[in-house]
Amino acid sequence: MEAPSSLKSLCRYVETTLVPQDKTLNFTIDKEVFGLERDTFLLPEDITQFAGMEEIGATVIAVYMRYLHDVLKQANMCSMVGFIDPATVSANSGTIADRSRLAAARLQRTDGEQIFMMPYNPGRHWILLIVRPKRETVYFLDPLPGNRVVDEEAKNIVNSAIKIYNSHIARSGRKAVIWKTLSGTPKQPSSVECGYYVMRFMRDIIMDPSLAFEKKYAKGKQEAPYPQEAIDEVRNEWAEFVCPHLE
């Protein structure tokens, strides 16, 4: 698997600097992106796994969301799309109550019709949830083929977060949150590409200023895998975003 050249130079940096000096790549993701400022540590294996098209973790995806935040800024779309930090909500990152509160705190910083992208990992698999708090609606995008259902834990977290959001804006809200499965997304060819697909879903959705993702990914639409070029585009953008942070 040939990695984009920007990613190759990152791998060289891992071999020549990070590993010999036992270092990580550190930078701060500012408050605007996830609602809370957070320090991010990219480990050498994060970079080499990403370069080798292996399974990736929350940090790699969060860094790409940080890049997409710049894309939104340039397009004047920050009031339309927000992000929820995958590391604070995915499995093994605290109790359901804690994770709901963190998601709710993020939703409370919304004005009006904003959608929030929430990559979620129930355990060794990435999916994308798109939360629309104002309409109490959540969209579920899963890159695995077949009849996929939302993980119960993810459902509980988002349902509770929307309840907390409702009480924050003092509305009674509807009886149950509306969940919609958008099954017409491109589908991953094997078991390792889910994280890359979720990154590409977010990119594709943002690149359409009308945010017509519900129509675009409706049932029966394009189910073929992404061409590798589409995934490499994402990997290249990620690496070009990370490169300036090298010491």
Residues 175 and 132: their CA atoms lie apart, in Å, by 16
Residue 151 has a CB neighbour count (10 Å cut-off) of 20
pLDDT at site 49: 94
Give residue 146's region: left, alpha or beta (phi > 0; psi -120 to 50).
left
**What tokens were used for 194?**
């889910």
pTM for the complete prediction? Answer: 0.95
Q: What is the mean pLDDT of each run of 10 residues along the chain (247 residues)?
A: 82 90 90 93 93 95 98 95 94 89 90 91 95 96 92 95 92 92 94 97 96 90 87 96 84
Q: Where are the domains of the chain?
A: 5-245
Domain formed by 5-245, architecture: 3-Layer(aba) Sandwich (3.40)
Give residue 22's region: left, alpha or beta (phi > 0; psi -120 to 50).
left
Do 131 and 107 form a contact (C-beta atoms < 8 A)? yes
Close Cβ partners of 206 (under 8 Å, ≥ 6 residues apart) = 68, 71, 72, 75, 77, 81
